[in-house]
Amino acid sequence: MVVTRFAPSPTGYLHIGGLRTALFSWLWARRNGGKFVLRIEDTDQSRNNEAAAQAIVDAFEWIGLEHDGEILYQSQRMGVYQMYIDQLLQEGKAYKCYMSKEELDALREAQQARKERPRYDGRYRDFTGTPPEGVDPVIRIKAPTEGSITVYDGIKGEVTFNVDDILDDFIIARADGTPTYNFVVAVDDALMGINEVIRGDDHFSNTPKQLVVYEALGFKAPAFYHVPMIHNSEGKKLSKRDGATDVMEYKRLGYRPEALLNFLVRLGWSHGDQEIFSMEEMKKLFDPNTINKSASIYNTEKLDWLNAHYIKNLANDALAHELLPFGADLKAHDKKEILLDALKERAKTLVELAEMVKEVLTAPTAYDEKAFKKAVKPDSKAVLEAFAAKVEATPELHLPTDYHALMETVVSEMEIGFGKIGMPLRLALMGKLSGPGVDTIMASIGREETLARIAGLTAQLN
């Protein structure tokens, strides 16, 4: 059974790149009928943030990536880590190092002066003397001192590291007893049965150290897939300006979770030329072995295009519910179907759609100066008053076609072009010359509000 995991550190918000690796891990587990574990790596108490940990959980709930079992917190497993540290000490595979910070700094300075790679020199590896007083020891694992370590990666292929270039006897427990990242990751992945690890390329350099821990404890290493990073359009590391922001910020900006997931699955993976994937299609088709080897490029226009697609295809009742947090309340509006059908074709985000809804439903308090000059002609007041008279005389007006028929009647009777009524009427209704069709606006706001807005403009015309 395939068992994957996502294991963020609660030191900040859930990043968009982290969500992508979580999605890949989730999809691979679901495709294979396996398990997906969410683990919070919070052993570093000096950097942890409870609010950040909760933000990660909130993001998963919003995005809809359900995990199997309870969320696991490393801070609650300290006894487990201590047991395995003691085991390695007893077996002679780890040892206490009493090197002071001053000694370590002096060693590194000397190595750098000789243009050598800074590394621990193993001076306490086989120490049997009397420990120095006043020094709380760290615990170091005995790493290989020669040869090579080969990482088998589903994306990169087989990569061999020269031990002398990358390893020393690295610390697995700090002086205060807390275990270090590479140690607890290997222990937890093994004990939790994680057999497929999909994670960002920035973790690749940690893999040889983790393999040392697996070997020392007699654990079987998982299959690894290190996903190339997401870059901006210039091929550089993604910044906040480019989109490297809190996943929940996408919610606040009006993006649909399914659009965000569809966008992320295509950052580094593809299935032919297909761009739009349902969740079922993603689960059926995704395979980490076909992830691209090169970095992917973040494209805001593509995200907006996908989000517009999902907004357009969302049922209006559901869409009305989604608009509530953005200040547009249509749930009890009797013409919400007419209004949303017209507006959702034009919106890239829920924020944009909410603003469009509010613009239609809120009477203008001023008129755009350029629009006024363009729309208002000497006969505009007479045309608007003629149309208002038709509306007054027709109590049964419900659909856009009902209002459009009255407009056509005025055009015919006054022998004018359609623009003669359309432009000043749009100005009266919206205060500007953009927006949905004027017949749709009138059907959405109703007969009385239509008359009130026409009267508001005609009062200003000579």
Return the active site residues. 240
Residue holding tokens 């009742």? Answer: 317
Match 């210039």 to its residue by tokens.
234
- Edge to edge, what strands does the sheet with 35-40 contain? 3-6, 35-40, 72-73
Those residues with Cβ within 8 angstroms of residue 241's Cβ, 6 or more apart along the chain or in another chain: none
How do strand 94-97 and strand 138-141 relate by DSSP bridges? Answer: antiparallel
User: Which are the contacts of 413, defined by CB distance < 8 A and separation ≥ 6?
Assistant: 386
Q: Is 147 left (phi over 0), alpha (psi -120 to 50) or beta?
A: left
Token pair, residue 324, equals 């509530």
Location of structure tokens 């706001």:
445
Q: How many angstroms separate the CA atoms of 372 and 457, rounded?
A: 10
Closest CA to 343 of 363, 323, 325, 365: 323
Distance CA 332, CA 53 (A): 37
Residue 240 among known ligand-binding residues: yes
Angle subtended at Cα 158 by Cα 155 and Cα 160, rounded to the nearest 5 degrees: 130
- DSSP H or E segment with residue 230: strand 230-231
Instruction: Give the span between the Cα atoms of 298 and 155, in whole angstroms.
Output: 20
Residues ≥6 apart with Cβ < 8 Å to 412: none
User: What DSSP character marks residue 362?
Assistant: S
Q: Which has the closest alpha carbon to 296: 20, 4, 15, 6?
A: 20
Question: Which region, left, alpha or beta, applies to residue 5 given φ > 0 means left and ψ of -120 to 50 means alpha?
Answer: beta
Q: Residue 160: beta bridge partners?
A: 150
Q: Which residue has the tokens 């989000």?
A: 307
Ramachandran region, residue 393 (left: φ > 0; alpha: ψ -120 to 50; beta: rest): alpha
E-strand ranges in 86-186 read 94-97, 138-141, 148-153, 157-162, 171-173
Question: Which residues are annotated binding-site positions for ATP?
Answer: 240
Which residues fall in the annotated binding site?
Answer: 240
